[in-house]
Structures are given as structure tokens and as C-alpha cells.
Amino acid sequence: MLADERKTYGVCPRHAGRPAIAACPRCGRYMCALCVSGGAEVSGQLVCRECVEALSAKNGLRREVSWENRGGMSYARAFFATWRDVIFAPRAFFAGLAPDGGLFKPLIFAAICLAIGLVGSLWGIGEAASAIVGPSGAALVAAMALVLAPATYILSFVVTVGFLHLLARGLGGRAAVRGTTRAAAYAQAATVAEIIPAVGGILAFVLRLSLYGWGVSAVHGFSLKKAIAFYVIVLVTAAGFIYFGVRLLTPFLPPGV
């Protein structure tokens, strides 16, 4: 149900000063244009974001992913809408993600996120290379990283999906590997954070782990207790890989780095 432009709803309670253009039929909360864009149409009615999240968590409600069902939206708008939902409303997004959907579009979404984040990654690699091998070798290192990035990403993604799926099934998850792959693909929205100077890589890494926790737990239908256990295991495993990776690289680094 679209907003009735002829009706007056007063002022939005969440965004002071913005006129409300609709009212949530479930909770009665007035919504401005920003609230409407963050909600969704459920059974023909315009529902606010809070109710979408509540319905998704309670009833396993399936929401259409903008990237997979663009309607009249452009590719750019559909990509941004999906990225926004994954980052800012992960509970609602992954709770409504159909585990048995297609793989092509989610993987393309992940590839676009990687391409955006790669810009920040190359800058960080160049800075690190300058400190280790000097400015003369930094360009060569960055070029090699650019060439190797696609294959490295594909390999790491396949290994990650395999690990997440085996772990989820071990905890009693019921989704097929397709569902795990779809959740992991949309979790790559975190990669975009790598374009942020200095802290982008760390932020993307932490955010990606969180999205893995949200996404895989949701598609496998985990209870809160199992979801926490899943996330803790993923976090500990990632920390272990980082620790041993640093230990392996330490002998090859110049003194003082």
C-alpha cells in the first residue's frame, strides 16, 4: 500500500522536522520519506523497518532483495539499496533472505563490493610495501596484488563458504550450501569499507565477520544460543589465522617493522 499523499500524518517522531507521509499499519508509527525507504512492503502494506525486523525474526518472512528484483530501479540504485540493507539492517535482511534463491546475482553483488574495496586495499598495500621494500618496489607490489586479487578472492571465498557451511551443519543447521553461499556473498558488502583510509581494512574485516554471523545463522535457522556459538567459533578461528599468519611473516620482515 503506497502512501496517501492527500492525508496529513503530522511530523515524523524519528526524524524531527520531517513531515510524515505514511503510518505503519502494524504499530501505527508515523513515517517520513526516510523511514519509508528503510521499511518494506509486506502483503501489500507499507511496514516500518522495526516491524519488518520483528516479523522477519518471528515468522521467517521472506523479503525481496532489491538487487535480485530491481523492478523499475536502475542497477546502481538496486545495488545501493541492497548494500544499505545488509550494512544497516542485517537482522531484517538476512532473516528475510531466501536460502534457495539463485547464486548468480549474489555473486555479482559480491564481486562489485570487492572491486570497490580493492581500491582501498591497493592503497594500503602500497603504503605497507613502501615501508618494507621502499617506494621503488611499492608500485610493483601493488601491480602484483592487483593481478592476483581476483584469484585470491575466489579461493578465499570458496574456502570461507566451505568452512562456514560445515560449521553450520555441525551445529545442526538445515540449509543447503546454496543458502550459505548466498549469505556469504551478501556479507561481502563489508568489503566496501576498505576504501576508508587507514582503518578501512580492519573495519571491513570485523564487519564481515559480524555479517557472516548474522547471515549464516539466519539461513540455517539457528536459535540465539546457536547463533552466538557459531559467531564465537568464527571469531576465534579468524583470530587464530591472523596470529599464525603474523608468526609466519615475522621472519621475513625487516627489523623494526
pLDDT tens digits along 229-255: 999 999 999 888 777 766 665 665 555
Residue at 133: amino acid letter? V
C-alpha cell, 101: 534463491
* Gap between the Cα atoms of 192 and 196, Å rounded: 8
* Gap between the Cα atoms of 28 and 105, Å rounded: 35
Nearest to 164 by CA among 207, 111, 217: 217
Domains of the chain are: 1-61 (3.30.40), 104-252 (no CATH)
Q: Does 2 have pLDDT greater than 60?
A: no
**How crowded is residue 104: how many other Cβ atoms within 10 Å of its Cβ?**
9
Residue at 51: amino acid letter? C
- Whether the CB-CB separation of 112 and 195 falls below 8 Å is answered with no
C-alpha cell, 86: 545488509
Instruction: Round the average pLDDT of the chain to a whole number and report it.
Output: 79
Question: Which of 10-19, 56-65, 83-92, 189-198 is the least confident region?
Answer: 56-65
The share of the chain scoring above pLDDT 70, in percent, equals: 70
pLDDT at 160: 94
Show the beta-strand stretches assigned E in 102-185: none
Question: Which of 60-64, 145-149, 178-182, 212-216 is the least confident region?
Answer: 60-64
Per-residue CA distances from 225 to 96, 167, 171, 222, 230 (Å): 20, 15, 11, 8, 9
Q: pLDDT (tens digit, 9 = 90+) per residue, 22-57? A: 888 877 778 888 777 666 666 566 777 677 666 655
Top-confidence range, 17-21, 124-128, 206-210? 206-210
Q: Does 224 have pLDDT greater than 80?
A: yes
* Torsion angle of the four alpha carbons 149, 152, 153, 157, in this order, in degrees rounded to the nearest 10: 180
pLDDT at 40: 64
* Gap between the Cα atoms of 22 and 124, Å rounded: 45
* Gap between the Cα atoms of 158 and 164, Å rounded: 10
Nearest to 173 by CA among 216, 211, 208, 215: 216
Q: pLDDT (tens digit, 9 = 90+) per residue, 157-201? A: 999 999 999 999 999 998 899 999 999 999 999 999 888 877 777
Per-residue CA distances from 193 to 27, 53, 90, 200 (Å): 34, 24, 16, 5
- Angle, CA of 12, 15 and 19, to the nearest 5°: 40
pLDDT at 246: 63
Nearest to 187 by CA among 142, 226, 234, 141: 234
